[in-house]
Amino acid sequence: MSERIPVGILGTTGTVGARLVRLLADHPWFEIAEVGASDRSAGGRLGDLLAGEAGPLPERVASLEVRSLSGSWSSPVILSALPSSVAREIEPALAGAGHLVVSNASTFRNDPDVPLVIPEVNAHHLALLERQRGRWPGAIVTNPNCVVTGLAMALAPLHERFGIVRAVATTFQAISGAGKPGPPAGDLVDNVLPFIAGEEEKVAYEPRKILGALEDGALRDAPFRVGVTATRVNVLHGHLVSVSVELEGAPGPDEVLDALRSWEGRTAGLGLPSAPARALEVTDDPTRPQPRLDRDRSGGMTVTVGRVRPCEALGISFLALAHNLDRGAAGAALLNAELCRVKGLVEAASPRPS
Ligand SMILES: NC(=O)c1ccc[n+]([C@@H]2O[C@H](COP(=O)([O-])OP(=O)(O)OC[C@H]3O[C@@H](n4cnc5c(N)ncnc54)[C@H](OP(=O)(O)O)[C@@H]3O)[C@@H](O)[C@H]2O)c1
């Protein structure tokens, strides 16, 4: 028996689930032990259902049988890539059965007891788990919406150094962010879709929670407001976001560049296998960042910021790019699971025997 920690994946046949399988197939700490999806997939062989989407898989992983969500799970850590409506029932049930649930779904992101974590930005928000003790023996930890991750990581050094007054963000989001089956090809070619249902509310709120302050064990949202327009563009992977921001003290581009370039984040020295050497890469090339050229930096875990410049309206403008499936979803959840492990939360999980 391997000494790696067994994990379960929920929604394993979806866009994010497939990426989780790929990232976990040869992970040094975790081992895929259980995989679940809808009744439509239950009983199928994982390798057949993914049909190459997760790349070549070791036979042990490819031959796992996909199960339905009903019944008990044995792994201490459950990574969830379920639609939010499905997560609403199953994630609290699993936390109630003692599991550590690390979720991509939006369902519990705004819950005041549930940490919404990007390890480099707010690893300390895991302290909110104390507030879950009265609710269930396990825990739920969430990662942000896929376009919020890049936005919040670019805003974090600026909020820490100067303080954000307000921001305006326009997103250019990739097709894979929509999950399966995604928008019809005929709608995307030669076009930009100017509305993504439910997205703008998440982009407006989640950075405020992520950059919020812990006070007496509770979280106070950061006070700034974000105006958002979310669009879908004809790009396969990689969410680009154009940001204008007003900062306390009205720093110029050089000071902002210094804050971005010198930011180290909160994972230095933790040895998390999925943490990139540099969480933020800042480019001076006026033609970057571009999704095709920059999304795969450090296995898709580095956020690229560029075109930092003065803005006539709010003070500073820039663009940020993050791979939506790696830094924005599967890699984000995996990094959270790794953070939980070094914080002793994985060992603390004790699934009830059925
Ligand atoms: N795509 C992204 O970039 C991204 C980024 C961040 C967060 N997220 C979030 O991550 C979650 C998954 O997104 P996705 O894009 O991977 O979605 P997706 O491609 O639609 O996949 C959904 C997965 O959930 C399973 N599922 C659907 N209905 C189910 C049910 N009633 N019972 C059990 N399993 C069910 C599906 O199984 P079957 O194959 O059997 O139907 C599939 O494995 C969502 O909450 C999404 O908002 C996505």
The reply to whether 162 and 306 lie within a common domain is yes
Structural domain boundaries, residue 278: 146-323
Pocket test for ligand 1, best of 9, 10, 12, 15 (most atoms within 8 A of CB): 15
> According to DSSP H, which parts of the chain are helical?
15-24, 46-50, 59-62, 84-96, 119-122, 146-161, 185-188, 199-210, 253-262, 291-294, 331-342, 345-348
pLDDT computed for residue 353 by the predictor: 66
Q: Are residues 180 and 134 part of one domain?
A: no
Both 83 and 202 in one domain: the answer is: no
Number of domains in the chain: 2
Q: Is there a domain that residue 354 lies in?
A: no
Over residues 5-55, the pLDDT tens digits come to: 999 999 999 999 999 999 999 999 999 999 999 999 999 999 999 999 999
Residue 54: predicted pLDDT: 93
**137 lies in the same domain as 196:** no
State residue 2's pLDDT score: 53
Reply yes or no on whether 340 is catalytic. no
For residues 169-186, give the mean pLDDT: 96
Which ligand 1 atom sits closest to the C-alpha of 179? 15
CA of 345 to the centre of ligand 1 (A): 25
Closest by CA to 193, choosing from 168, 180, 206, 174, is: 174
Tell me: do 139 and 160 sit in the same domain.
no
252 CA distance to ligand 1 middle (Å):
42
Q: Is the residue at 353 inside a domain?
A: no
Same domain, yes or no, for 112 and 170?
A: no
Residue 303 CA to ligand 1 center (angstroms) comes to 24
Sorted by sequence, the CB contacts under 8 Å of residue 172 that are 6+ apart come out as: 192, 231, 233, 235, 239, 240, 241, 242
Active-site pick, 125, 237, 239, 323: 239
* pLDDT tens digit sequence for 234-291: 999 999 999 999 999 999 999 999 999 999 999 999 999 999 999 999 999 999 999 9
Active-site residue flag, 99: no
Tokens of 306: 């560029």
pLDDT at residue 354, as a whole number? 57
Q: Do 139 and 152 belong together in one domain?
A: no
- Is the pLDDT score of 1 beyond 70? no
Instruction: Kindly state whether residues 160 and 41 are assigned to the same domain.
Output: no
Determine which of 26-35, 77-86, 129-138, 341-350 has the lowest per-residue pLDDT on average: 341-350
Query: What distance in Å separates the CA atoms of residue 55 and residue 121, rounded to the nearest whole number?
Result: 30
Q: Quick check: pTM over 0.85?
A: yes
223 and 311 belong to one structural domain:
yes
**Nearest protein Cα to ligand 1, atom 38:** 38
* Best residue among 10, 16, 118 to mutate for probing ligand 1, ranked by most atoms within 8 Å of CB: 16
pLDDT of residue 349: 86
**How does DSSP classify residue 353?**
P
Q: How confident is the model at residue 157 (pLDDT cuts 50, 70, 90)?
A: very high
Q: What are the E-state strand segments in the chain?
A: 5-10, 30-36, 66-67, 77-80, 100-103, 139-142, 164-173, 213-215, 218-220, 225-232, 239-247, 280-282, 303-311, 315-322
Please write the tens of the pLDDT for every residue from 193-214: 999 999 999 999 999 999 999 9
Which ligand 1 atom sits closest to the C-alpha of 174?
3
Residues 87 and 221 in one domain: no
Share the mean pLDDT of the chain: 97
Backbone CA torsion sign across 204, 209, 212, 218: positive
Asked if the model's pLDDT at residue 348 lies above 90, the reply is: no
Q: What average pLDDT does this structure show over 88-97? A: 98
Nearest CA to ligand 1 atom 43: 11
Pairing of strands 303-311, 315-322: antiparallel
> Cis link prior to 289 (omega < 30° from 0)?
yes
